[in-house]
């Protein structure tokens, strides 16, 4: 290491692109698929929220059906696989 703090072999760490053009070029080079784009993440977040809302609504319906006597409290046990003896 020199007194400047830069390595004599490789010059130290890169500070990265400084212009918008450089940042766009790096982003394009790093994007190999569309899974991690902002739009894809926003869409996944939206669908996750829709799923949470549906599951909450189903829980409410189940509670109302159990309270109204239309479902037994242990109705889920009918659908569980029976253990082999």
Count other Cβ atoms within 10 Å, centred on residue 41.
11
DSSP state of 31: -
Tell me the percentage of the chain whose pLDDT exceeds 70: 84
pTM of the model: 0.52
What own/partner pairs with CB < 8 Å and gap ≥ 24 does 7-14 have? none
The answer to whether 71 and 62 have CB atoms below 8 angstroms apart is: yes
The helices-and-strands tally (H runs, E runs) of the chain is 2, 0
Q: Tens digit of pLDDT for each residue in 48-85?
A: 999 999 999 999 999 999 999 999 999 888 888 877 76
């Amino acid at each position: 290491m020199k007194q400047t703090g830069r390595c004599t072999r490789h010059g130290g760490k890169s500070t990265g692109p400084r212009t918008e053009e450089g940042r766009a070029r790096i982003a394009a080079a790093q994007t190999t698929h569309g899974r991690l784009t902002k739009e894809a993440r926003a869409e996944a977040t939206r669908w996750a929220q829709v799923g949470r809302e549906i599951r909450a609504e189903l829980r409410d319906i189940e509670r109302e059906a159990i309270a109204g006597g239309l479902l037994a409290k242990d109705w889920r046990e009918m659908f569980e696989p029976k253990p082999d003896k």
